[in-house]
Amino acid sequence: MKILLVYPENPITYWGFQYALKFTYRKAAYPPLGLLTVAAILPQDIEKKLIDMNVSKLKDNDILWADYVLISAMVVQRASAKQVIERCKKYGVKTIAGGPLFTTEYESFGEVDHLLLGEGEITIPEFISDLKHNRAKPIYKTDRFADLNTSPVPSWHLIHVNKYVSQSIQYSRGCPYHCDFCNITALFGNIPRTKDSSRLLSELDALYETGWRGNIFFVDDNFIGNKKKLINDTLPKIIDWMKKHRYPFTFSTEASINLADDKTLMELMSRAGFKSVFVGIETPDEDSLAECKKTQNKDRDLMDSVRKIQCFGMEVQGGFIVGFDNDKPSIFRNMVDFIQDSGIISAMVGLLNAPKGTKLYQRMKSEGRLKDYFSGNNTDYTINFTPKMDLNLLVKGYKSIVSTIYSPKYYYERVRNFLKGCAVKKMRFTRFNPIVILIFLRSVVMLGIFGKERVYFWKLLLWSLFKHPKLLPAAVKFSIFGYHFRKIYEETGV
């Protein structure tokens, strides 16, 4: 049996970094970790190929080679996924589909031959057994959650790792919190499940053996869901592994703001090589935090929490939302001020949406405010319910935030303030190598000569070069990020 695994194309998005990729000589930001794991779950006697459409084109001959095409996708990849399914139908090749898009919207994909909903470690073995006995069903669904120690090491040999800016790894699933706009608990539960440290280290070994050297993104939705295990076992083991292998990787991840409450945890993460953490801050407004049940963010000095994390050498990337029922017109200026004062360079600001499976979705539905379309894109101008604030005022205010914080003046001010701050004391510096030098030269041409930001770009680079030369690679990286973020919002009409 031959199975072709296909990862659909991502539209241009904030975290897709498509505009930044032009500088890096890489094809995509992150690999399709879910499909690489699925490939490892499939029996060894099945012949497999993987096409990441963000890296290479899906050719007709690829589809015709396969007995089955297996697709995994996120909601934002909906359009590309549908096109892949149509191409398979055209050639009479049967399709299998799973992942967040199909798990939450399976009713919309009746043309798929076999839907695997929920966690693949549970549904795939049953499906393959039925397939081999000619009794495969249209839908396989489970409400159970997998033991992550049964999840295999991803099949890294199916991709070229050096076509990606970063690699990915998973340590845990699930989140202990109940934010009403988030569908993570609906997909993975709210009791964090983790891999044993020996399992995690075997995955680091596997990535190391591919020759990869660089950043690894822990895709966990809340890396610190089980603090005790991290402190007493996992992080000390990662630290030892990194020392033994002479620090071949840096790490990034996502975590809740209460990371700032635990100095031991921050110190261990810093020593392990974590250089950035995405935190869902959402809003500086206490009433809106209460509205969305963001209990971990309430009744704390959010600015102080951000700075504590930064002072352990970790860049805080922040998620922000406008469109809560309690939002007032003052939120737009207040959010700009918070982002600037906190030194959060990568501030993803989006309009509130209600994904399927969330408490917010149910509330909007019960109040008759729900609309049909949800794009899955964090930063476009769509909203799938009727907000309390006038929609035109909301969109205008949203545009004012992003056009301000990603204007060269405001953006480069944040970069410089971050690089001058306490974070620099514990930052791991990028070593110069041929790729870094090529990226630097391309940034000089695209940003320093032709870019709208060229004055601010040169001020930052010269400041770094003469006062803090070790910071030069970081200054270039953040300049490239700023270019991408600005283009994202320009292309959507800011």
| pLDDT, tens digit (0-9, with 9 covering 90-100), for 423-470 | 777 776 666 678 888 999 999 999 999 999 999 999 999 999 998 888
Are 37 and 173 a contacting pair, CB within 8 Å? no
List the structure tokens of 133: 């006995």
pTM score, whole prediction: 0.95
Amino acid in position 294: K
- Are 169 and 219 in contact by the 8 Å Cβ rule? The answer is yes
Strand 347-351 to 315-322 pairing: parallel
In this structure, is the dihedral angle defined by the CA atoms of residues 382, 388, 394 and 398, taken in order, positive or negative?
A: negative
Give the distance from CA 213 to its chain's centroid.
Answer: 20
The label of the residue with tokens 């009409």 reads 493
Is residue 248 a contact partner of residue 200, using CB atoms and an 8 Å limit? no
Which pLDDT belongs to residue 431?
66
d(CA 98, CA 78): 12
Q: Each residue of 458-484: pLDDT tens digit?
A: 999 999 999 888 899 999 999 999 999
Q: Please give the helix or strand (H or E) that residue 35 lies within, else none.
A: helix 33-41
pLDDT of residue 143: 87
Question: Where are the extended beta strands (E) located within 262-415?
Answer: 274-282, 315-322, 347-351
C-alpha distances in Å from residue 143, one per residue of 122, 187, 189: 10, 9, 10
Look at the block and give the residue holding tokens 């809003």.
Answer: 283
Note the pLDDT of residue 68. 98
Residue from 110, 118, 180, 193 nearest 150 by CA: 193
Query: Tell me, what's the pLDDT at 437?
Result: 87
Q: Which residues contact 293 (CB under 8 A, 6 or more apart)?
A: 177, 178, 179, 180, 359
* Burial call 157-169: b when 16+ CB within 10 Å, e when fewer: ebbebbebbbbbb
Q: What is the pLDDT of residue 258?
A: 97
State residue 421's pLDDT score.
86
Q: Is 275 helix (H, G, I), strand (E, B) or coil?
A: strand
SS3 248: coil
Helix (H, G, I), strand (E, B) or coil at 166: coil
Coil/strand/helix, residue 327 = coil
- Return the CATH class of domain 166-420: alpha beta
The whole-number pLDDT of residue 366 equals 97
Low-confidence residues of the chain: pLDDT under 50: 494
Q: Which two tokens stand for residue 98?
A: 């799973």
Question: Tokens 């060269």 map to which residue?
Answer: 408
What distance separates the 2 farthest-apart alpha carbons in the chain? Answer: 70
Q: How far is CA 3 from the centre of its chain?
A: 27
Show the tokens assigned to 225. 């869901």
> Which CATH number describes the domain made up of 2-141?
3.40.50.280
First to last CA, the chain: 50
Quick count: other Cβ atoms within 10 Å of Cβ 21? 18
The CA distance from 377 to 374, in Å, is 8
The residue type of 259 is L
Output the pLDDT for position 493. 52
Q: Which token pair is 416?
A: 């410089």
Question: With the CA atoms of 166, 167, 170 and 173 taken in that order, what torsion angle do they form, in degrees rounded to the nearest 10?
Answer: 40
Nearest-CA neighbor of 243 among 280, 273, 212?
273
